[in-house]
Amino acid sequence: MKITPLEIKKQEFKAKFRGFDKAEVMAFLELVSVEAEEIVKENIEMKEKLRAANEKLSNYLKIEDALHDTLLATQETADQMRQSADEKANLIVREARIKADRVVESAFEKISALRKEMAAMRSQRAAFLVSFRSLLESQLRLLELMERQAAQEEKSSESGKPIESGIVRQESAETGTRALEDMGVSEGRDGRVESGEQC
Protein backbone atom coordinates (compact mmCIF):
# COMPACT_ATOMS: atom_id res chain seq x y z
CA MET A 1 0.00 0.00 0.00
CA LYS A 2 1.36 3.41 -1.02
CA ILE A 3 1.68 6.11 1.62
CA THR A 4 1.30 9.73 0.64
CA PRO A 5 3.18 12.59 2.32
CA LEU A 6 -0.11 13.83 3.80
CA GLU A 7 -0.76 10.46 5.45
CA ILE A 8 2.71 10.52 6.92
CA LYS A 9 2.15 14.04 8.19
CA LYS A 10 -1.21 13.17 9.82
CA GLN A 11 -0.14 9.83 11.19
CA GLU A 12 -0.85 9.59 14.94
CA PHE A 13 0.60 7.13 17.42
CA LYS A 14 -0.79 5.93 20.72
CA ALA A 15 0.97 7.21 23.77
CA LYS A 16 2.54 4.67 26.16
CA PHE A 17 4.45 4.91 29.35
CA ARG A 18 8.03 5.74 28.78
CA GLY A 19 7.43 6.02 25.02
CA PHE A 20 9.09 8.33 22.44
CA ASP A 21 8.89 12.08 22.70
CA LYS A 22 5.78 13.03 20.82
CA ALA A 23 7.16 16.37 19.68
CA GLU A 24 10.26 14.76 18.24
CA VAL A 25 8.19 12.08 16.54
CA MET A 26 5.90 14.70 15.00
CA ALA A 27 8.86 16.78 13.88
CA PHE A 28 10.46 13.73 12.30
CA LEU A 29 7.19 12.82 10.59
CA GLU A 30 6.94 16.38 9.31
CA LEU A 31 10.45 16.12 7.91
CA VAL A 32 9.75 12.72 6.36
CA SER A 33 6.51 14.08 4.90
CA VAL A 34 8.36 16.98 3.27
CA GLU A 35 11.06 14.70 1.89
CA ALA A 36 8.45 12.23 0.62
CA GLU A 37 6.54 15.06 -1.05
CA GLU A 38 9.74 16.19 -2.78
CA ILE A 39 10.42 12.65 -3.88
CA VAL A 40 6.89 12.34 -5.26
CA LYS A 41 7.25 15.62 -7.11
CA GLU A 42 10.61 14.55 -8.53
CA ASN A 43 9.10 11.20 -9.50
CA ILE A 44 6.25 12.95 -11.31
CA GLU A 45 8.69 15.27 -13.06
CA MET A 46 10.89 12.35 -14.05
CA LYS A 47 7.90 10.46 -15.41
CA GLU A 48 6.84 13.54 -17.39
CA LYS A 49 10.34 13.99 -18.73
CA LEU A 50 10.50 10.29 -19.56
CA ARG A 51 7.16 10.54 -21.38
CA ALA A 52 8.34 13.60 -23.32
CA ALA A 53 11.63 11.86 -24.13
CA ASN A 54 9.74 8.79 -25.35
CA GLU A 55 7.54 11.00 -27.52
CA LYS A 56 10.61 12.72 -28.97
CA LEU A 57 12.30 9.37 -29.51
CA SER A 58 9.18 8.07 -31.23
CA ASN A 59 9.09 11.19 -33.44
CA TYR A 60 12.80 10.80 -34.17
CA LEU A 61 12.27 7.16 -35.08
CA LYS A 62 9.39 8.11 -37.38
CA ILE A 63 11.53 10.81 -38.99
CA GLU A 64 14.39 8.33 -39.34
CA ASP A 65 12.08 5.80 -40.98
CA ALA A 66 10.73 8.50 -43.31
CA LEU A 67 14.27 9.62 -44.19
CA HIS A 68 15.30 6.02 -44.77
CA ASP A 69 12.31 5.44 -47.05
CA THR A 70 13.02 8.71 -48.87
CA LEU A 71 16.67 7.77 -49.27
CA LEU A 72 15.73 4.37 -50.67
CA ALA A 73 13.22 5.93 -53.05
CA THR A 74 15.75 8.55 -54.13
CA GLN A 75 18.41 5.89 -54.67
CA GLU A 76 15.98 3.76 -56.66
CA THR A 77 14.94 6.77 -58.76
CA ALA A 78 18.59 7.70 -59.34
CA ASP A 79 19.37 4.13 -60.41
CA GLN A 80 16.41 4.12 -62.81
CA MET A 81 17.43 7.51 -64.23
CA ARG A 82 21.04 6.37 -64.64
CA GLN A 83 19.92 3.15 -66.33
CA SER A 84 17.55 5.06 -68.61
CA ALA A 85 20.30 7.57 -69.45
CA ASP A 86 22.73 4.73 -70.22
CA GLU A 87 20.17 3.06 -72.48
CA LYS A 88 19.44 6.32 -74.30
CA ALA A 89 23.16 7.03 -74.68
CA ASN A 90 23.78 3.55 -76.07
CA LEU A 91 20.86 3.96 -78.46
CA ILE A 92 22.17 7.34 -79.63
CA VAL A 93 25.64 5.86 -80.14
CA ARG A 94 24.23 2.91 -82.12
CA GLU A 95 22.10 5.20 -84.29
CA ALA A 96 25.06 7.53 -84.85
CA ARG A 97 27.25 4.59 -85.88
CA ILE A 98 24.58 3.33 -88.27
CA LYS A 99 24.19 6.80 -89.81
CA ALA A 100 27.98 7.18 -90.04
CA ASP A 101 28.28 3.80 -91.74
CA ARG A 102 25.56 4.80 -94.20
CA VAL A 103 27.26 8.13 -94.91
CA VAL A 104 30.62 6.43 -95.43
CA GLU A 105 29.06 3.77 -97.65
CA SER A 106 27.25 6.43 -99.68
CA ALA A 107 30.48 8.43 -99.98
CA PHE A 108 32.35 5.36 -101.22
CA GLU A 109 29.59 4.66 -103.73
CA LYS A 110 29.72 8.25 -104.99
CA ILE A 111 33.51 8.13 -105.19
CA SER A 112 33.33 4.85 -107.11
CA ALA A 113 30.72 6.30 -109.47
CA LEU A 114 32.82 9.43 -110.00
CA ARG A 115 35.90 7.33 -110.70
CA LYS A 116 33.97 5.28 -113.25
CA GLU A 117 32.61 8.45 -114.82
CA MET A 118 36.08 10.00 -114.95
CA ALA A 119 37.49 6.80 -116.49
CA ALA A 120 34.71 6.83 -119.10
CA MET A 121 35.38 10.51 -119.83
CA ARG A 122 39.11 9.81 -120.20
CA SER A 123 38.31 6.94 -122.54
CA GLN A 124 35.94 9.13 -124.56
CA ARG A 125 38.53 11.89 -124.64
CA ALA A 126 41.23 9.49 -125.85
CA ALA A 127 38.88 8.08 -128.50
CA PHE A 128 37.92 11.61 -129.58
CA LEU A 129 41.57 12.64 -129.85
CA VAL A 130 42.37 9.57 -131.95
CA SER A 131 39.36 10.19 -134.19
CA PHE A 132 40.12 13.89 -134.45
CA ARG A 133 43.76 13.14 -135.27
CA SER A 134 42.58 10.68 -137.94
CA LEU A 135 40.21 13.32 -139.33
CA LEU A 136 42.98 15.91 -139.44
CA GLU A 137 45.31 13.46 -141.17
CA SER A 138 42.56 12.55 -143.66
CA GLN A 139 41.86 16.20 -144.34
CA LEU A 140 45.58 16.78 -144.78
CA ARG A 141 45.76 13.95 -147.30
CA LEU A 142 42.68 15.37 -149.01
CA LEU A 143 44.34 18.76 -149.26
CA GLU A 144 47.47 17.14 -150.69
CA LEU A 145 45.35 15.33 -153.30
CA MET A 146 43.55 18.55 -154.18
CA GLU A 147 46.90 20.30 -154.56
CA ARG A 148 48.16 17.48 -156.79
CA GLN A 149 44.99 17.66 -158.87
CA ALA A 150 45.32 21.41 -159.22
CA ALA A 151 48.95 21.04 -160.27
CA GLN A 152 48.05 18.37 -162.85
CA GLU A 153 45.22 20.46 -164.21
CA GLU A 154 47.58 23.41 -164.51
CA LYS A 155 50.14 21.25 -166.38
CA SER A 156 47.39 19.84 -168.60
CA SER A 157 46.15 23.27 -169.52
CA GLU A 158 49.66 24.30 -170.43
CA SER A 159 50.39 21.15 -172.52
CA GLY A 160 46.90 20.74 -173.88
CA LYS A 161 46.63 17.09 -172.73
CA PRO A 162 43.60 15.90 -170.69
CA ILE A 163 44.22 14.37 -167.24
CA GLU A 164 42.49 11.53 -165.49
CA SER A 165 40.74 13.56 -162.80
CA GLY A 166 38.34 10.74 -161.90
CA ILE A 167 41.07 8.85 -160.04
CA VAL A 168 41.83 11.92 -157.92
CA ARG A 169 38.13 12.49 -157.23
CA GLN A 170 37.63 8.83 -156.26
CA GLU A 171 40.67 8.91 -153.99
CA SER A 172 39.44 12.15 -152.45
CA ALA A 173 35.99 10.61 -151.85
CA GLU A 174 37.50 7.51 -150.28
CA THR A 175 39.72 9.63 -148.07
CA GLY A 176 36.73 11.68 -146.92
CA THR A 177 34.67 8.54 -146.26
CA ARG A 178 37.44 6.96 -144.17
CA ALA A 179 37.75 10.17 -142.18
CA LEU A 180 34.01 10.16 -141.49
CA GLU A 181 34.11 6.51 -140.47
CA ASP A 182 37.01 7.22 -138.10
CA MET A 183 34.85 9.90 -136.46
CA GLY A 184 31.94 7.47 -136.15
CA VAL A 185 29.92 9.20 -138.91
CA SER A 186 28.44 7.53 -142.02
CA GLU A 187 26.76 8.80 -145.16
CA GLY A 188 23.15 7.77 -145.69
CA ARG A 189 21.51 6.53 -148.88
CA ASP A 190 20.13 10.00 -149.61
CA GLY A 191 23.59 11.54 -149.32
CA ARG A 192 23.07 13.01 -145.86
CA VAL A 193 25.64 12.49 -143.14
CA GLU A 194 24.45 10.35 -140.21
CA SER A 195 26.17 9.75 -136.89
CA GLY A 196 27.00 6.20 -135.92
CA GLU A 197 26.35 6.96 -132.21
CA GLN A 198 22.76 7.10 -131.01
CA CYS A 199 21.73 8.93 -127.84
For 7-52, the pLDDT digits (tens) are 666 666 666 666 666 777 777 778 788 888 888 888 899 999 999 9
What's the number of domains the chain is made of?
1
- Asked if 138 contacts 175 with a C-beta cutoff of 8 angstroms, the reply is yes
Instruction: Identify whether 43 is part of a domain.
Output: yes
Give the percent of the chain with pLDDT over 90: 48
Instruction: Identify whether 90 is part of a domain.
Output: yes
Instruction: Identify whether 198 is part of a domain.
Output: no
Instruction: Identify whether 127 is part of a domain.
Output: yes
Instruction: Identify whether 188 is part of a domain.
Output: no
pLDDT attached to residue 177: 59
Structural domain for 161, as ranges: 5-182
Instruction: Identify whether 192 is part of a domain.
Output: no
- Asked if 185 contacts 132 with a C-beta cutoff of 8 angstroms, the reply is no
Question: Rounded to 5 degrees, what are φ and ψ at 71?
Answer: -65, -45
Instruction: Identify whether 197 is part of a domain.
Output: no
Question: pTM (2 decimals)?
Answer: 0.38
Instruction: Identify whether 194 is part of a domain.
Output: no
